[in-house]
């Protein structure tokens, strides 16, 4: 009996170490986004909060695997758009007055990408959509922080306008 419980404990420890390593792989993968955002970001506090959120979400979703890991990959891919558009717009000084609409457009496009992707799934659509939206919001916050709280709010509105109809469709 003691040998079995020791074997179970050893197997569980090996499993947990493997899952932790898997989660750390995604957390380290998301950290360049956080570093770039911190270097270019406007309000540093908003950037730090967004960076911590993105890296924490990446670790947890990578650790859990399955639907959350798929949502993490899709959310990072779509969130890259919401992250990069404001960064590019700010580097081109002519685009500065358009930063708020650009954040909104990045949110719309990113939300549309994950909304369409969720319709291809047969199971766990709502979980996928919610998790991917969270990743998009975390990644987009880093880019839209250049425009301040208004840019982040515009990006969130854009993501919400495209993912809520997809969530309603996922429930049907």
Query: Residues 34-91: pLDDT tens digits?
Result: 888 777 766 677 778 888 889 999 999 999 888 898 999 999 999 898 888 888 877 7
Q: Is the dihedral of CA 163, 96, 77, 45 positive or negative?
A: negative
- Residues 148, 110: Cα–Cα separation, whole Å: 19
pLDDT level of residue 95 (50, 70, 90 thresholds): low
- Is the pLDDT reported for residue 31 higher than 90? no
Specify the long-range contacts of residues 84-92, CB closer than 8 Å, at least 24 apart: 84/143, 85/143, 86/143, 86/144, 86/146, 86/147, 86/151, 87/36, 87/40, 87/143, 87/146, 90/40, 90/146
CA torsion, points 172, 78, 48, 59, in degrees to nearest 10? 70
Q: How many domains does the chain have?
A: 1
Structure tokens at 121: 């799934």
Q: Which of 57, 150, 72, 53 is nearest to 117 (CA)?
A: 72
Q: Residues 107-163: pLDDT tens digits? A: 999 998 998 888 888 778 888 888 999 999 999 888 888 887 888 889 888 888 888
pTM for the structure as a whole: 0.84
Phi, psi of 43 (to 5 degrees): -70, 115
More confident residue, 128 or 95: 128
Which DSSP state fits 1?
-
pLDDT for the residue 2: 61
pLDDT for the residue 136: 93
Structural domain boundaries, residue 14: 2-171
- Residues 132, 75: Cα–Cα separation, whole Å: 4
């Amino acid at each position: 009996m003691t040998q079995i419980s020791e074997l179970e404990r050893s197997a569980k420890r090996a499993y947990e170490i493997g899952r932790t390593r898997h989660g750390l792989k995604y957390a380290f993968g998301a950290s360049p986004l956080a570093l770039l955002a911190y270097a270019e970001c406007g309000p540093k506090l908003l950037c730090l909060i967004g960076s911590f959120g993105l890296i924490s979400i990446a670790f947890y979703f990578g650790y859990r695997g399955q639907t959350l890991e798929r949502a993490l990959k899709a959310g990072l891919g779509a969130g890259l758009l919401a992250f990069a558009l404001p960064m590019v717009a700010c580097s081109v000084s002519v685009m500065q007055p358009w930063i708020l609409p650009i954040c909104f457009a990045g949110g719309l496009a990113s939300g549309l990408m994950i909304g369409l992707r969720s319709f291809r799934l047969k199971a766990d659509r709502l979980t996928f959509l919610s998790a991917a939206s969270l990743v998009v919001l975390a990644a987009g916050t880093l880019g839209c922080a250049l425009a301040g709280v208004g840019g982040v709010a515009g990006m969130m509105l854009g993501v919400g306008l495209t993912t809520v109809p997809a969530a309603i469709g996922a429930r049907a």
